[in-house]
């Protein structure tokens, strides 16, 4: 018997074994899928970017990919026209005036509420939480008419607020806070709940009251969760067109960037090329926000608190 | 520095879920008391009621002369070391230890003095600026101790503080903890499921099972005079031999063993108990003997344990390490009747 039979090796990394092959193939498939998805996701954005640097005549005559081959005919016309045509400075200011409070208010409220839902005992806690989660399923559009009616009744319209000397953005702050709260509370309370209970008990014995525990232990440990929530909420408010259009509608002095940009395009879709430039311009702020906060996305900030 | 009294303490979660039943213990001032028992026996709950982390359903807990049932955890003048250490991960070692003092609004200088003092005792001087995640398991454990020490509490509560350490470190820390107890001259209450920790560290041990206190006593007392079958089986390694026996005219008869009981018992049936070290290769003239069919031989260098059958019963013997025995041999062994126990068949209480 001199026939050598390949004996199955116990090593999982043995070359050319079925296991090795499937590992390799699995890795390969994963990479192809991930890269493919990324490319598919980026193609429209890249197309938009290239289009924004093309002349309007070319845009309507040929696809954006033709611009990638010589002769190159890029231009900044769209950008200069866009700046000339719109009052971008005012709307940028408005966007910040809307987005920053409309981020801070719901995130702050949500943090307090989430702490209560996660770590305090009060009657009906689970039912209230359930109702709150249920609110996640309510379509935004359903709320427009009743909320607008109430806002008008209460005098929360840009015109009236300006007349009495209050910021005209209040209706948007309230609306965005309301729309953002259910998700924010849900996300944060899940995060808080995952904090080890030993920390809370230890703090209790150490003599820390509820507020001390919240500010000195819960908040510092929740920076990653809060940072991601801030990014979500800020991007949602910044990119929002519908809510702004409904509650502060036609008032140009209050309109955020999104509303102004939409108005660049005429009713028949003319000046479409300006929108490409405008879209890229309006992406700058969200990009800065994301890139500056993303380092807080580090996991494992809890490492070392419990267990050896 | 204070005594602690559990007076008919009950912990009930629902009408039919009672985890601590009529618990009565008096822990003396400066005593090192160990609460020991299998997991789920209620020992941690008993400790947490004292800490103020669980409400007391019935009865009273007193620290010194003060009833603490309705005193908030922070006002009980206790400090607790958690199994998980529960260090604040975002604070440095220094801040972790300073935290309880800051909560008492102590002056910065005094806080500094106390933290420095505790870190010197525990050898943490060089780590004060580090975050817990940059420490080893043993160092984290010491930070947790430090956080308790700085408060100079009346009572130290330790909830399985060693179970996250590796075996070698556990042995070391055991000794350090005893030293610490001696230096601090404070009452320690220590919860563990490990009978070795209980035996080596406790001034006294309280053994619990299924929410009921089984026995309180010094380690030697509990080892030599277990109150019932559970205690006898829980304490000691290898465990005590248990052999079912009938009693006839002062003599206990088991399947492979007959022994005259040192004092008369009222029961006719029960369990004969004797520790492995009572079964030896020294056969005393006229004393009880047994024939063991050896299944397993364990040589530990200083000891040699034989596991085998005596009649129909499983018995462990500790014999001279020089005795040459092979599995399958049948050996003649003697029984030292000084360490003989007899447990009632019904109540499982020790009669001898």
Gap from A307 CA to chain B (nearest CA, Å): 5
- ipTM reported for the complex, 2 dp: 0.82
- Arithmetic mean of pLDDT, A120-140: 90
- Chain A positions touching B141 (Cβ under 8 A) are 308
Buried-state track B176-202, b at ≥16 Cβ within 10 A, e below 16: bbbebbeebebbbbbbbbbbebbbebb
d(CA B67, CA B344): 39
Contact at 8 Å (CB) between B63 and B41? no
- Residues from chain B that touch A218, judged by Cβ atoms under 8 A, are none
**DSSP 8-state class, residue B228:** B
Residue B1 has a pLDDT of 64
Q: Does A265 touch chain B (CB under 8 A)?
A: no
DSSP one-letter code for B350: B
Chain A: give the shortest CA distance to residue B146, in Å. Answer: 13
What's the pLDDT tens digit per position in A60-101? 777 778 777 777 777 888 888 877 777 778 888 888 989 999
Q: Cβ contacts (< 8 Å) between A210 and chain B: which residues?
A: none
Q: CB–CB of B100 and A206 under 8 A?
A: yes
Per DSSP, the residues of B272-326 read EEE-GGGEES-PPTTS-EEEEEEEEEEE-SS-EEEEEEETTEEEEEEE-TT----
CA–CA distance, B307 with B292 (Å, rounded to integer): 9
* Interface mutation vs chain A, best among B89, B144, B156, most A CBs within 10 Å: B89
Residues of B in contact with A212 (CB under 8 A): 103
What is the pLDDT of chain A when averaged over all its residues?
Answer: 82
Mutation target to probe the A interface, by most A beta carbons within 10 A, among B47, B49, B71, B84 is: B84
Interface contact B164-A307, CB threshold 8 A? yes
Cβ pair B89:A303 closer than 8 A: yes
Locate the domains of chain A by residue range. Answer: 19-75, 81-297
Please tell me the least confidently modeled range out of A152-161, A181-190, A257-266, B195-204: A257-266
pLDDT of B37 reads 93
Q: Do B89 and A212 touch (CB under 8 A)?
A: no
Return the exposure string of B249-277: e unless at least 16 CB atoms fall within 10 Å of the residue's CB, then b: eeebebebbebebeeebebeebbbbbbbb
Rounded CA gap, B241 and B279, in Å? 9
The pLDDT of residue A4: 45
Does B137 contact A308 at a Cβ distance shorter than 8 Å?
yes
Contact B74 A207 (CB under 8 A): yes
pLDDT at A240: 86
**At what angle are helices B137-149 and B108-122 packed, to 10 degrees?**
140
- CB-nearest to A207 from B53, B103, B134 is B103
Listed range (A1-10, A41-50, B36-45, B165-174) with the worst mean pLDDT: A1-10
Higher per-residue pLDDT: A267 or B190: B190
Q: CA-CA distance, B157 to A287, in Å (whole number)? A: 51
- pLDDT for B20 equals 92
Q: Residues near B15 by Cβ (< 8 Å), separated by ≥ 6?
A: none
Which domains does chain B possess? 4-232 (3.40.50.300), 239-344 (2.40.50.140)
Disruptive mutation site among A195, A202, A302 for chain B (greatest number of B CBs within 10 Å) = A202
Contacts of residue A302 in chain B, CB cutoff 8 Å?
89
Judge whether A308 is closer than 8 Å to chain B, CB to CB. Answer: yes
pLDDT reported for residue B94: 92
Ordered per-residue pLDDT tens for chain B, 352 residues:
689 999 999 999 988 899 999 999 999 999 999 999 998 899 999 999 999 999 999 999 999 989 999 999 889 999 999 988 899 988 999 999 999 999 989 999 999 999 998 888 888 888 999 998 888 888 898 899 899 989 889 999 999 988 888 888 888 888 888 998 998 899 999 999 999 899 999 999 999 999 999 999 999 999 999 999 999 999 988 899 999 999 888 888 888 888 888 888 888 889 999 999 999 888 877 788 899 999 999 998 888 999 999 988 999 999 998 888 889 989 999 988 888 899 998 888 988 8
Is the CB of residue A301 less than 8 Å away from at least one CB of chain B?
yes
Token output for B329? 């041999």
Going by pLDDT thresholds of 50, 70 and 90, the confidence category of residue A2 is very low
Give the nearest partner residue to B84 out of A208, A217, A307, using CB atoms.
A307
Domain covering A81-297 assigned CATH 3.40.30.10 in the classification? no
C-alpha dihedral sign at B118, B190, B73, B6: negative
Residue A49 confidence (pLDDT) above 80: yes
Angle at A89 between CA A44 and CA A256, to 5 degrees: 60
Chain A window 178-237: which residues touch B at a Cβ cutoff of 8 Å? 196, 198-199, 201-208, 212, 216-217, 220-221
Sequence-distant (6+) residues with CB within 8 A of B174 are B162, B197, B200, B201
Residue pair B220/B203 in contact by the 8 Å Cβ criterion: no
Angle between helices B137-149 and B93-103 (to 10 degrees): 20
Give per-residue pLDDT as tens, A296-306. 655 434 433 44
Mutate to test the interface with B, among A121, A196, A201, A206 (most CBs of B within 10 A): A206
Q: Which two tokens stand for residue A57?
A: 């005549």
CB contacts, 8 Å: B140 with chain A: 304, 308
What residues of A are in contact with residue B90 (Cβ under 8 Å)?
A: 217, 220-221, 301
Return the number of CB contacts < 8 Å for A and B. Answer: 88
Question: In whole angstroms, what separates CA B92 from the centre of its chain?
Answer: 33
A205: buried, middle or exposed (CB in 10 Å: 19+, 13-18, 0-12)?
Answer: buried
Q: pLDDT value at position A7?
A: 45
What pLDDT, in 10s, does the model give residues A229-260?
888 899 899 888 888 888 887 677 888 888 88
């Amino acid at each position: 018997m001199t026939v050598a039979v390949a004996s199955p090796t116990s090593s999982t990394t043995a070359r050319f074994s079925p296991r090795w092959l499937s590992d390799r193939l699995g890795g390969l498939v994963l990479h192809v899928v991930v890269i493919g998805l990324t490319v598919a996701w980026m193609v429209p954005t890249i197309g938009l970017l290239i289009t924004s640097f093309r002349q309007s005549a070319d845009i309507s005559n040929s696809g954006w990919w033709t611009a990638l081959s010589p002769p190159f005919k890029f231009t900044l016309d769209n950008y200069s026209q866009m700046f000339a045509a719109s009052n971008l400075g005012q709307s940028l200011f408005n966007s910040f005036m809307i987005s920053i409070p409309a981020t801070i208010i719901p995130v702050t409220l949500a943090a307090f509420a989430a702490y209560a839902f996660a770590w305090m005992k009060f009657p009906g806690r689970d039912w209230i939480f359930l109702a709150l989660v249920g609110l996640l399923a309510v379509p935004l559009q359903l709320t427009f008419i009743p909320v607008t009616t109430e806002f008008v009744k209460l005098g929360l319209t840009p015109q009236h607020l300006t007349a009495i000397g209050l910021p005209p953005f209040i209706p948007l702050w309230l609306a965005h806070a309301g729309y953002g709260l259910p998700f924010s509370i849900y996300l944060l309370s899940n995060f808080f709940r995952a904090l080890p209970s030993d920390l809370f008990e230890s703090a209790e014995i150490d003599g820390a009251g509820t507020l001390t525990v919240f500010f000195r232990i819960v908040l510092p440990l929740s920076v990653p969760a809060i940072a991601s929530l801030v990014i979500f909420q800020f991007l949602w408010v910044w990119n929002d067109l519908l809510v702004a259009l409904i509650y502060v509608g036609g008032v140009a002095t209050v309109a955020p960037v999104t509303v102004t940009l939409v108005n660049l395009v005429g009713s028949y879709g003319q000046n479409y090329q300006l929108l490409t430039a405008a879209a890229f311009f309006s992406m700058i702020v969200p990009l800065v926000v994301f890139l500056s906060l993303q380092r807080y996305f580090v996991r494992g900030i809890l490492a070392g608190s419990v267990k050896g | 520095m204070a005594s602690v009294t559990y007076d008919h303490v009950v912990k009930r979660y629902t009408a039919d879920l009672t985890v601590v039943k009529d618990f009565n213990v008096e822990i003396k001032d400066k005593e090192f008391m160990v609460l020991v028992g299998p997991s789920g026996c209620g020992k941690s709950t008993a400790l947490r009621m004292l800490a103020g982390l669980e409400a007391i359903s019935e009865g009273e807990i007193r620290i010194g002369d003060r009833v603490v049932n309705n005193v908030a955890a922070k006002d009980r003048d206790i400090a607790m070391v958690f199994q998980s250490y529960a260090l604040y991960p975002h604070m440095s070692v220094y801040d972790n230890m300073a935290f309880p003092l800051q909560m008492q609004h102590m002056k910065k200088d005094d806080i500094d003095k106390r933290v420095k003092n505790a870190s010197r005792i525990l050898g943490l001087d060089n780590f004060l600026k580090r975050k817990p995640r940059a420490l080893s398991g043993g160092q984290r454990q010491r930070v947790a101790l430090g956080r308790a020490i700085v408060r100079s509490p009346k009572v130290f509560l330790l909830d399985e503080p060693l179970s996250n350490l590796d075996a070698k470190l556990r042995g070391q820390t055991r000794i350090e903890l005893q030293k610490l107890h001696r230096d601090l001259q404070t009452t320690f209450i220590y919860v563990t499921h490990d009978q070795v920790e209980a035996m080596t560290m406790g001034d006294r041990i309280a053994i619990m099972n299924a929410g009921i206190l089984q026995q309180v006593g010094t380690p030697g007392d509990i080892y030599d005079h277990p109150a019932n079958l559970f205690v006898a089986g829980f304490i000691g390694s290898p465990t005590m031999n248990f052999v079912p026996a009938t009693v006839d005219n002062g003599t206990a008869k088991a399947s492979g063993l007959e022994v005259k009981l040192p004092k008369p018992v009222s029961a006719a049936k029960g369990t004969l108990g004797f520790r492995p070290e009572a079964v030896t290769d020294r056969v005393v003239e006229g004393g009880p003997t047994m024939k063991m069919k050896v299944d397993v031989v364990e040589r530990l260098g200083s000891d040699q344990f034989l596991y085998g059958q005596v009649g129909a019963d499983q018995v462990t013997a500790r014999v001279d390490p020089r005795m040459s025995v092979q599995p399958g041999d049948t050996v003649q062994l003697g029984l030292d009747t000084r360490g003989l126990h007899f447990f009632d068949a019904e109540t499982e209480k020790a009669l001898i």
